[in-house]
Structure 1
Amino acid sequence: MKTLLVVDANPIISALIGGSSREIFFSKTYRFATAEYTVEEVRGFIPYIAEKSGVAEEEIEKALGLLPLKVYSREDYRDKITESERIIKGIDEKDLDILALALKLKAPIWTNDRHFENIREVRVVKTQDLI
């Protein structure tokens, strides 16, 4: 059975620019989940990615749609929001949704953000751990 990972924005962005995350997304080892909020955060970076890569924004949007991500709405993990707020308060509150989803799914978070290193309520893995 494939291991479920809850994916933060930075591995998704890395995959879109051709980083090592892309290989992980298409490996046979893992399943991937993320929050709608995270997808919207990534979409905010599409113009930057397009400018730096020389690839049209529409192509990057298509590539985002091809990543094997199950996207959850806030309604799916609403019951974990309060717990997530308590844990992440004063750390990085923009990651509230991804933490709440990980708590709900009882799955590790795949991120390269250092601030997650201080969170003990969920397991955190970095890209280098998955290669």
Structure 2
Amino acid sequence: MYLAELRAALATIHARWEHGHDGLTPDCALCADEQAEVRALTAISYALSPNRTETTMTYKEALAEAAKTGADHATDAALMALFCKGPLQTLVGAVSPQLVWEGAQKEGLSTSELGALCLRDVMAVSNLQWL
């Protein structure tokens, strides 16, 4: 499967998701199935994306790297740390920037995927804190 096909599949699943809920509903079988499918495709997409490496740095190290290199030259992990430190709480409310960053790293999300998730499902972003 190529990256464009994965993105198309994710868009299709996102369009299907709107079956009567404002967001992910834990008791809904459709929500659970679609979330599992999205996670599986996102993991494949993450593995196929160029310039992706698994981060072994901490949140503080990522912030330090971003401060040193600037956002234009930062790795995705460092860019995500800046996003979490800055606009994250404006978009989703009272969450821990560090815990959201750590959860997003564990889930293999990119900064753009985390940003899209902030706009789509604030509770899913909040749940990243507990991974």
TM-score when normalising by structure 2: 0.27
Whose RCO is larger (CA < 8 A, sep 6+)? 1
Return the TM-score normalized by structure 1. Answer: 0.27
For the pair shown, the structure with the greater C-alpha radius of gyration is 2
More helix by share: 2
